[in-house]
Amino acid sequence: MTTKLWGARFAREIDPFFEKFSSSIAADYRLAKCDLIGSFLHIHVLKGAKLIAAGDFAKLKKGLLSLLSDVDKGRFAYDFTSEDIHTNIQNALLKKAGPVAGKLQTCRSRNDQVVFDTKLYCLINGARLQESIFFFRKTLLALGNLHSSLVMPGYTHMQHAQPVYLKDYCSAYALMFERDAQRLEDALMRLDISQGAGALAGTPIPSSIYKAQIKKALDALKMPGLAKLVGPCENSLSVVSDRDFVAELLSLLAIMGMHISRLCEDLVLWSSREFGFIEIGDEYCTGSSLMPQKKNPDALELMRGSAGILYGNLISVLVILKGLPLSYNRDMQWDKEPLFSSLELIESELVILSGLLKTIKFNKANIEHQLGDESLCATDLADHLVASGVPFQEAHKVIGKLVRHSLKTGKKIKGMTQEELNLFSKKLNKREVLKRLNPYFCASSKKSVR
C-alpha cells in the first residue's frame, strides 16, 4: 500500500488484510475527475482566504490541471493499492507539484470531499442519462410511428381484451420513461453540491470567500453553468452525513429498471412461438450449445432480470444508512458500488434496448390471426346496442350470451343471420354488427384518447 493521508497517531502498522478490505479505490477511482475539480475549487478558496501564497497556488493549480488532463486523456496512473481515490490523487499531486501538495488538505476532509465528488459525479452522469432517456424515448416512438396503422390484441389479465394500436403501446412505454426523466431532473436539482463542511464542523473560512472563489474557479475551468449548483454549505453536519441523494437516485433507477423489465417481458412474450408477433434481430439473441435450432432472447432476459440488481442496490443503500448516527460514518463507503452499478446498468440497457428495438420485425399474419378472435370486439358490440337505447348492463348481458353461444357452437358471430341475431336482441343490426366486428374499426373508434 502507498502513503496514507493519516498515520502519525498510530504506533503500529495497519493489518494488511484489513487494509485491503477497507480500500475503496476499486469503485471510487471513477470519481477522479470530480475529485480534481473539487481540489481545483478548494485551492481557489485557500488562496482567497490567504491560507496559501500566490506561488504555492500557481504550483498547485498547474499540478491539478495536469492531473485533470491525464484523467481526461486516460493517462492517469491509478494506484489500486491506495486507500481511496482521494489518497491516490494526493500522492499523484505530490509527484507533480512537490511538497506544496501537502497544503491541499488544509481546511478539508475526505468526509466532505467524497460527498462533493459523488454529487458532482451524479450530476454529470445524470445529465448524460437524461440524454440517453431522450434518445430511447425517440426510438420507442419511432417504432410506433413506423407501424402507425398496426393494430394488435390488447390484454388485461393476459387475456384478449380489446384491439389497440401498436403506436399507443409504444407511447405508453415512452410515457413511463418521460416520468423517469422528470424524476431524474428533480433529483439532480436537489443535489445541493457544496464545499466547506470539513470533517463535520465546517472550516474557519467565511462562506463569502467560498462563494466568490468557487465562482472564480468554475469560470477558470470553463464550467460557469455549475456556479448555480455549487456553493458554500448550509449545514456541515448535514453535508457529511447525507446520502439521501444516493438513495433517491437509486430509487428512480430502480423504477426505471422496472419499466425496462416490463417492456422486455412484453417483447419476450411477443417473440415466443405461441404469440409469434415479432422477430428480434440475431444481433440481440444467442443460441444453445445443445439444441441447434434455438434462438433465445437473452438480451431481453438479462435486462428483465437486472431489475433485481437495481432493487437490491436501492435496498442495500437504504439498509446501510438505517440507524446511522450523525454525522459521517465509514459505513457510508458501501454506497459506491450500488450507485455505480445501477447507473452503469441503466446506461448500457438503454443503448442495447434502443438497438434491439430497431431490429424488430412484426409478423403481421400471426397478429392478424389473433385479431380474428371476435371476442376482442365484444365491448364494441355492446356499445352498438347502447347507441340504440339499450342500458349498458343489459347490452353487456346480451353480448355475453352471444359470445358464449358462439364459443359453444363454434359458429362465428360474423356468420350469423339477422334472424339468429334477433334471438339475442331485436336491436342487434347485422350490418352494424359486421362493422363493429372489425378490430381496425374498434381501435379507431376510441376517441377519448386522441
Q: Using the minimum distance from each CB to ligand ARG, give the nearer residue, 44 or 110.
A: 110
Single-letter residue type at 67? L
Find the shortest distance in angstroms from Cβ 204 to ligand ARG.
20
State the residue for C-alpha cell 446520502: 243
Find the shortest distance in angstroms from Cβ 108 to ligand ARG.
11
Find the shortest distance in angstroms from Cβ 343 to ligand ARG.
16
What are the cell numbers at 128? 448524460
User: 304 to 333, contacts with ligand ARG by CB under 6 A?
Assistant: 330, 332-333
Q: Quick one: which of 219, 217, 226 has its CA closest to 188? A: 226
Q: Quick one: which of 245, 228, 264 has its CA closest to 350? A: 264
Site map (CB under 6 A) of ligand ARG, residues 102-141, x = contact? --------xx--x---------------------------
Q: How many CB atoms lie within 10 A of CB 207?
A: 16
What are the cell numbers at 55? 506561488
Find the shortest distance in angstroms from Cβ 114 to ligand ARG.
4
Q: Using the minimum distance from each CB to ligand ARG, give the nearer residue, 21 or 74.
A: 21
Told to judge if 157 belongs to the known catalytic residues of this protein, a careful annotator would answer yes
Find the shortest distance in angstroms from Cβ 337 to ligand ARG.
10
Pairing, β 361-362 against β 159-165:
unpaired
DSSP states of 162-196 as a string?
Answer: EEEEHHHHHHHHHHHHHHHHHHHHHHHHT--EEE-
Pairing, β 230-232 against β 278-279:
unpaired
User: 20 to 39, contacts with ligand ARG by CB under 6 A?
Assistant: 24
Q: Using the minimum distance from each CB to ligand ARG, give the nearer residue, 115 or 437.
A: 115
Q: How many residues bind ligand ARG (CB under 6 A)?
A: 9
Q: Using the minimum distance from each CB to ligand ARG, give the nearer residue, 84 or 180.
A: 84
Options 149, 288, 348, 388, the catalytic residue = 288
Residues found in the chain: 450
Find the shortest distance in angstroms from Cβ 98 to ligand ARG.
25
Contact 346, 313 (CB under 8 A): no
What are the cell numbers at 169? 403501446
- Does residue 197 belong to the site contacting ligand ARG (CB under 6 A)? no
Find the shortest distance in angstroms from Cβ 336 to ligand ARG.
6
Contacts 24+ apart (CB under 8 A), 227-232: 229/123, 229/191, 229/193, 230/41, 230/120, 230/193, 230/194, 230/195, 231/193, 231/194, 231/195, 232/194, 232/195, 232/196, 232/207, 232/208
DSSP states of 324-340 as a string?
Answer: PPSS--GGGGGGHHHHH
Q: Using the minimum distance from each CB to ligand ARG, give the nearer residue, 85 or 184.
A: 85
Q: Measure CA 123 to chain center.
A: 13
Among 35, 56, 84, 242, binds ligand ARG (CB under 6 A): 84
Told to judge if 147 belongs to the known catalytic residues of this protein, a careful annotator would answer no
Active-site positions? 157, 288
Q: Which residues contribute to the site for ligand ARG (CB under 6 A)?
A: 24, 84, 110-111, 114, 330, 332-333, 336
